[in-house]
Amino acid sequence: MVFDLCVVGAGCIGSAAARYGSNIGTVCLIGVKEAEDQSTSGERDIFGAHYDEGRITRSSHRDFVWSSLAKESIARYREIESSSGIPFYDEAGFIICGSFGKEFMRTNKECAKSQGINTKLWSSKELKEHFPYLNFSESDEAIYENDNSGYISPRRLIEAQITIAKRQGCHVIEAVANEVERCVIDGEYLMCVSTESGQKIYAKKVLLATGAFTSFRKLLPKYVNIDVSLRPITVARIEISLDDYKKISNMPSISYCGTGAADWMTKFIRKSDNTVNFYMLPPVKYPDGKYYIKLGHDSADFPKILSTATEVKHWYCSRGDEKMIEDIVTIVKDIVKGPKLSSYVGDCCVIVKTPSGRPYIDHIHSQLGIAVGGNGYAAKSCDEIGRLAALLVLKNKWDTTLPKDSFTVKYKTEGSKL
């Protein structure tokens, strides 16, 4: 069989692209399920940043492109849940918080206004009145986005997308793609995707949604080297009891940039202007049945760049930077007062950064497309990214008012479109 489209990569973006593509033509989705053995000694060397239950979702963003991608995606969450029967979205609300009058807060206020997002502006006193268990500085202020915001489960979102795609006729192959190449069969140019097991899948067009692993196999044409950097991120999840969860169940997702309260741990990573930059999720229930508060740092705080498949595998298997995990646990205890915070676990992922800070949604050549470069923001926006990518590759159609050149792929070397 020759498919109209083969999507390589079954993560957040790939699963969305498969859903939209399978509503247009015949589609094959190639990818692997979450690794059971996530250790360096295991044979598996493909992992995913989507192995998680909690990712912040919100409409506001200092970049209008990401704001638009998020708004379009969030507007379809409930439809995806209803169609698939799989819930993945908790509308818990979102707070942007930071030192009063500083650039971070000024910019976010301007963006929320220009993007037409319904928000409330709170002083530190008002923030304390609404969430008395959160310990922020008296010199902080907050922007509260209570509609169309909160957090999603990437795992369940992917499951929902694939469930719908399968119903629409999508063929799902659980395998690792080793090579993508153009070939000629009966006088017709086709794309051939070869898997680790030796299986060959033929399609008229291929879309790569392969994240951090795009350059580590023969998925791109020879000499094509896309311009991305792979940034390792460490997070920590701190367990709270069910009783404590009930006490702070109205906690929103949070993005913070400021100098913090006087009693916060001062050694937590700070920038040259003494600010702390992090995101924090409310208690989320994980597969082990426990509730965890998760906090992660800004990617610029840990400037290391991963450059090989071995480095990426070792990072995913490491569970993160141990010292940073300890620091994260301490600062969560400084911020969230009341609940007993005891046991914790470190975790990590890899962010695919692009020079523009925006995703690549583009052609490599007429039969090969790419949708990579989440920059740490893609989970919440993946439905729209996948939709745009599927339409671009299948129909050569750019179905958005966002400028196409905002998503143009850039190359590190003399790579060019073929």
Domains and CATH numbers, the chain: 2-51+155-226+358-407 (3.50.50.60), 94-146+229-353 (3.30.9.10)
Q: Residue 50: what pLDDT? A: 84
Question: pTM of the predicted model, to two decimals?
Answer: 0.95
Residue 248, pLDDT score? 96
Q: Mapping DSSP to helix (H, G, I), strand (E, B) and coil, where does residue 257 land?
A: strand
In angstroms, rounded to a whole number, what is the distance separating the alpha carbons of residues 103 and 352? 26
Q: Contact, 121 vs 278, CB < 8 A?
A: no
pLDDT digits (tens, 9 = 90+) for 54-107: 999 999 998 999 999 999 999 999 999 999 999 999 999 999 999 998 999 999
Using the Cα atoms of residue 215, residue 324, residue 250 and residue 110 in order, give the sign of their dihedral: negative
Distance (Å, rounded) from C-alpha 381 to C-alpha 352?
15
Instruction: Output phi, psi for 258, to 5 deg.
Output: -175, -175
Confidence of residue 17 (pLDDT cuts 50, 70, 90): very high
Q: Give alpha helix (H) positions in 291-346.
A: 309-318, 322-335
Strands (E), 269-321: 276-285, 291-297
pLDDT band at residue 271, thresholds of 50, 70 and 90?
Answer: confident
**Residues 216 and 180 sit within 8 Å (Cβ to Cβ):** no
pLDDT digits (tens, 9 = 90+) for 227-270: 999 999 999 999 999 999 999 999 999 999 999 998 887 677 78
Q: In this predicted model, what pLDDT tens digit does every residue of 327-358 receive, in sequence order?
A: 999 999 999 998 998 899 999 989 999 999 99
pLDDT of residue 300 exceeding 70 = no
Q: Lowest-pLDDT range, 44-53, 151-160, 273-282, 384-393?
A: 44-53
pLDDT-derived band at 48 (thresholds 50, 70, 90) equals confident
Give me the chain's average pLDDT, please.
Answer: 92
pLDDT for 192 equals 97
> What are the pLDDT digits (tens) for 369-401?
999 999 999 999 999 999 999 999 999 999 999
Q: How far apart are CA 273 and CA 17, in angstroms?
A: 41
Task: Burial-class residue 370 by CB neighbours within 10 Å (0-12, 13-18, 19+).
Answer: buried
Give the residue from 339, 225, 357, 349 showing the smallest Cα distance to 291.
339
| Residue in the structure block whose two tokens are 């940043």 | 49
Q: Are 386 and 16 in contact (CB under 8 A)?
A: yes
What is the average per-residue pLDDT within 30-41?
79
Sign, CA dihedral 72-127-153-108, equals: positive
Residues of the chain above pLDDT 90, percent = 80
pLDDT digit string (tens) for 121-132? 999 999 999 999
